[in-house]
Amino acid sequence: MSVPVTDPAQLPPAFEKALNSGNLDEVLDLFAPGAVMRTVTGETVTGQALRDYTAGSIAGNAHLSNGPSRVVAGGDIALLSEEWTMEITTPDGHRRKATGTTANVARRSPDGTWRMAVLNPLGTA
């Protein structure tokens, strides 16, 4: 992690910056061990599949824009929600735009840093 995330509200802008810079390792470092993501297609990915999905987003020149975050934290767990827009080039070469509202769960690590444990970019949709 290039800059330790010590406040869960810092996670969405850190994720946006890392993804937009195309830095796969920096994005993955924001994930807690065993993190799981529900993709925009409804698939659930973790482990190598999460890495591959993230790498595919970077390969598609993804550009993420997050709106203001809402954070509710209690102890070592936080619920984060924000509106987002992402533009990405699909494998067929078309540029696509998607939007949503997240419902993500972050967890504080023993070292005091926060990482994403559950990523749900479509929230309750």
64-119 pLDDT, tens digit each: 999 999 999 999 999 999 999 999 998 899 999 999 999 999 999 999 999 999 99
Q: Which two tokens stand for residue 62?
A: 């993804």
From 78, 74, 68, select the one nearest 118 (Cα to Cα). Answer: 78
Rounded to whole angstroms, the Cα distance separating 32 from 108 reads: 9
| pLDDT tens column, 4-21 | 899 999 999 999 999 999
Domain ranges of the chain: 8-119
- Global pTM reads 0.92
Helix axes 47-59, 11-21, angle to 10 degrees: 60
- Fold that domain 8-119 belongs to in CATH: Nuclear Transport Factor 2; Chain: A, (3.10.450)
